[in-house]
Amino acid sequence: MNAWAGKILVVDLTARKSICVPTSDYSDTWLGGKGIDLALLLAAECWQADPLSPENILVFGTGPLTGTLAPAASRVHVGARSPATELCGSSNIGGQFGPELKYAGYDHLVIKGAAAEPAVLVIDDDRVKIQPAQELWGLGVSKTEAALAERYGSDFRFFIIGPGGENRVRFAGIRSGTFNSASRTGMGAVMGSKNLKAIAVRGSKAILVARPERFYAACQRARREILESPCYQNMLNVPQMLRGSTHTGYFSYGNKESIVTPIEETISKAEDFLAAHRVGKAACFSCPLRCQDVFDVPGSGRLGMQCDPRVEFNYMAQVDDPTFAWRAYVICQETGLDTTSIANVLGFVNESLKVGDLSWKELKKDLNVSGEDRVELFLALITAISERKGIGDLLAEGVARAGKKLGPSFEQRAMHRDGLELAVPEPRTHLGLALAYSVSERGDYLSGFPIFEMVGGEAGRAMAAEAFGDGQIANNAADRKTLSDKEYVQTYMENMAATADMLGVCRWMTPTNGAPIKEDTLAELLTEAVGKTYTGEDLWAYADRCRKAFFEFDGKCRREKEKQLLPERLFHPVSSDQGQVAGIKKEELIAAISRYKKLRRVL
Amino acid sequence: MRRLQVIADCCTSCRSCEVACSLVHSGSCWPKEARLWIEPKENATAFTPRICRRCRRPRCAAVCPSGALVPLPEGGAKVDPEKCTGCGACVKACPFGYLRLSPITNVPLICDLCLDRPEGPACAETCGEKAVVVKET
């Protein structure tokens, strides 16, 4: 089988058995990656399962381009019924694991049941074993990885959960190496509920491609396109890139309390931090974008960081200190927690302290922290959440559940959609984000990232015109203050992201990140790899099917549950650097959601 | 004389060079069959490409008991897979540790600078960070 490895490995941890299923049973209809993962989740009917029970399944999906020379061909989609949203969980991770899984001979990995004791799943080509991991339980991610490399060899690649996943924190992620994480929607908690501390994989097989010379040439053309794009240069200075977007109120401050951001000061400090501590760049498998930074910070040694989560910690927790953000990030890395959810939780706690609903004194006592330093309190809180100690146990349930339990005043300040904590980008100033947060498949904005309005102005309009042609849609797409036509942006970005996620390449090299690789280029790469003609329109049809599968899964999960709109706070005015900003108009958002569903044909 | 120069500080460990090498030599994406590889260091935050140095007097060829590795006038050596017995003496003899055997055929995977490609070595063509570059001396 060209491009695909050919097999889906299904491991039943309860029965301690594994079987293989041909990928070709699914690939014609679902292509691969996220598409086949969704098909497997639907087939398993795990919408009925408690997300943290053995009845839930955990799926990992590479795509037909993963492990090849196609640019950014590193990705693995991770899916399960989410313990955070109780809808379809979906996360994505790069690094080296995905290609290695394919070299071992598997496109997808399905984990069923639960191990009786802490276990590690070892996949060494055709040899699949479930081995004890009692001595690793409780260890942080880096220590676990070092122990596994010692036990199995440094040529294995690992997926690991930290104490956060072990303790079933509902927003725990799965980590791989120092750079990579499948953070959102609690996939680490699902892995922890299965008593699976880690997955180790090593492969020695080839991925065949149908037309090697033409595939090689197509890969080189795509790579050159990336290297010549502004996006490639921007990766060298993320703070500078952020500066370009913050003057429009792109980031909220605190717990969506205001949009008054200390932009210059925070970004200058972030740049100083980069200059002082960044010692190199790194990349996922086969990726020319090299979006990862290597840092050497006293006290934490050499570590990697991707997608710069520091702004989340600085803004949402309202602690304007890059060292705090770094330390918070390192704790999340070690304990395996999602930085976005944690930053949101800190914002929730910070606001509750400010208005007096939480007591400083009691919180300090609960966390065993002395002194008045908010930094130390917040860092202790992150650790307590990972260990589910004291108030950490409640907050490990996420702000939605914690708010409900603590009472109405807490509940109204829980910034989430369907149980997934909102991120720092601000939907009141960027109305495309309001639609993205509202309708996206997993509750955040990333699957429909409205980059045209983020860039804005003539540059944003020119980017939008490439997608929609010159006209009113492109004009509206670049206008952050309107919801008109944003359903087209949402659908376009979702399709682009889903295409990348199904092929097993990174969506960051596509227009979802302002990068140049579009569906036609991806179709050409797939065509040469598989030896069968695919067009951009074909990929769009697969993407549409994939999105509809999310609707189907979520529809079965919800049953009686009413679909949640955004938190009420976002529909009210808010102060910003440019004065008062109106809240999102509810009736306009509802109308935009309707137009989106009509466009998706899911009404 | 043409050789490959490594600038390790520029390497991001994307391993595109490995896949490109395997693709042009074996027709598939197969890093285990590549003639170079990236070695991670320091918690996998620093990386060094390992590539044949194409020695003027290659020890790998000098120790080959079957005469399968033949020194080339411009440096390095060429392997004759028919003569190779897969004994691995060449791997042990390489003073830099930059040679390995194919896990499938046991024939040494020795760099040939992609001499049959007009575009030159695939690894250097693929490396966007110029961690592997062609150098004429």
A245, A451 in Cβ contact below 8 A?
A: no
In chain B, the residue whose alpha carbon lies closest to the alpha carbon of A5 is B29
Q: How confident is the model at residue A562 (pLDDT cuts 50, 70, 90)?
A: low
**A410 and A403 Cβ atoms separated by less than 8 Å:** yes
Contact between chains at B12 and A290 (C-beta distance less than 8 A): yes
Give the model's confidence band at A249: pLDDT under 50 very low, under 70 low, under 90 confident, else very high.
confident
Q: Are strands A76-81 and A119-124 parallel, antiparallel or unpaired?
A: unpaired
Nearest residue in B to A215, CA atom: B23
Residue of A nearest to B32 (CA): A204
**A112: Cα separation from own chain's centroid:** 23
User: b or e along A568-603 (b: 16 or more beta carbons within 10 Å of the residue's beta carbon)?
Assistant: ebbbeebebbeeebebbeeeebeebbebbeeebeee
Buried/exposed code over A261-277 (b: 16+ C-beta within 10 A; e: otherwise): bbbeebbebbbebbeeb
Task: Tell me whether residues A215 and B23 touch, CB distance under 8 A.
Answer: yes
CB-based burial of residue B51 (10 Å sphere; 0-12 exposed, 13-18 middle, 19+ buried)?
A: buried
Report the DSSP beta bridge partners of residue A59. Answer: A79, A110
Indicate whether A547 pLDDT > 70.
yes
CB of B48 within 8 Å of a chain A CB? The answer is no
The whole-angstrom distance between A207's CA and the closest CA on chain B is: 5
Higher per-residue confidence, A308 vs B120:
B120
CA distance B22 to chain A (A): 9
| B18 contacts chain A (CB < 8 A) | no
| Chain A residue with the nearest C-alpha to that of B17 | A286
- A343-352, A368-377, A491-500: least confidently modelled range: A368-377
Question: Which residues in chain A are closer than 8 Å to B33, comparing Cβ atoms?
Answer: 206
Q: What is the pLDDT of residue A248?
A: 81
Q: Amino acid letter at A52?
A: L
A296 or A238, which is more confident?
A296
| pLDDT tens digits for range B63-112 | 999 999 999 998 999 999 999 999 999 999 999 999 999 988 999 999 99
CB contact (8 A) between residue B14 and residue A142: no
3-state SS class at A313: helix
> How close A153 gets to chain B, by Cα (Å)?
13
pLDDT of amino acid A25: 97
Distance CA A229, CA A251 (A): 25
Helical ranges in A559-585 per DSSP H? none
CB contact under 8 A, B30 and A103: yes
Return the sign of the alpha-carbon dihedral for residues A239, A243, A248, A252.
Answer: positive
Shortest distance, CA A110 to any CA of chain B (angstroms): 24
Q: Report the length, in residues, of chain B.
A: 137
What domains does chain B contain, in order, with CATH numbers?
Answer: 1-52+111-137 (3.30.70.20), 55-98 (3.30.70.20)
Q: Is the pLDDT of residue A560 over 60?
A: no
B65–chain A Cβ distance below 8 A for any pair? no
Separation CA A342–CA B115 (nearest Å) = 54
A302 CB neighbours in chain B (<8 A) are: 42-43, 45-46
| Chain B residues whose beta carbon lies within 8 Å of the beta carbon of residue A226 | 128
Short-list A296, A301, A331, A295, CA closest to A313: A331
Q: Which residue has the tokens 């897969």?
A: B86
pLDDT at A267 over 90: no
Q: Say which CATH class A7-202 falls into.
A: alpha beta
Q: Is the pLDDT of residue A122 over 60?
A: yes
Q: Nearest-5° angle of CA A383, CA A390, CA A380?
A: 25
Those residues with Cβ within 8 angstroms of residue A270's Cβ, 6 or more apart along the chain or in another chain? A239, A242, A310, A311, A314, A322
Total Cβ atoms within 10 A of residue A15? 9
